[in-house]
Amino acid sequence: MEKAELFTPFCARAILVERPLRRKDDALLQADFYGIGLLALVGNELDVLVPPRPFVKRRHTVAGWKFLEDMYTQLA
């Protein structure tokens, strides 16, 4: 969750869990509190345990612009 939290000013965040959680209730509470989506991979299906909080752009920053440029570079 700490790594996902770094993207807060730039986009909606979510974490994909590929194995069962040891403390599922704690993970659900933390994800909901911080607005980080929690997704679980069950077989070939994706189960949304906590939906990510929608991203609302509050201001334009140099860091946000650079983030978008880096993402577009990786996608191209």
How do the pLDDT tens digits run along the chain, 76 residues long? 777 776 766 788 888 988 888 888 898 898 888 888 899 988 888 889 999 988 877 777 888 889 889 989 998 7
Say how far apart CA 43 and CA 20 lie, in whole Å: 12
Yes or no: say if 63 and 74 are a contact pair by the CB < 8 Å rule: no
3-state secondary structure of 13: coil
- State which amino acid sits at residue 61: T
The model's pTM: 0.61
Q: Residue 4, Cβ neighbours under 10 Å: how many?
A: 19
Q: How many domains, in total, are found in the chain?
A: 1
How many helices (H) does the chain have, and how many strands (E)? 3, 3
Q: 37 is in which domain, residue-wise?
A: 2-75
Question: How much is the pLDDT for 9?
Answer: 66
Question: How much is the pLDDT for 18?
Answer: 85
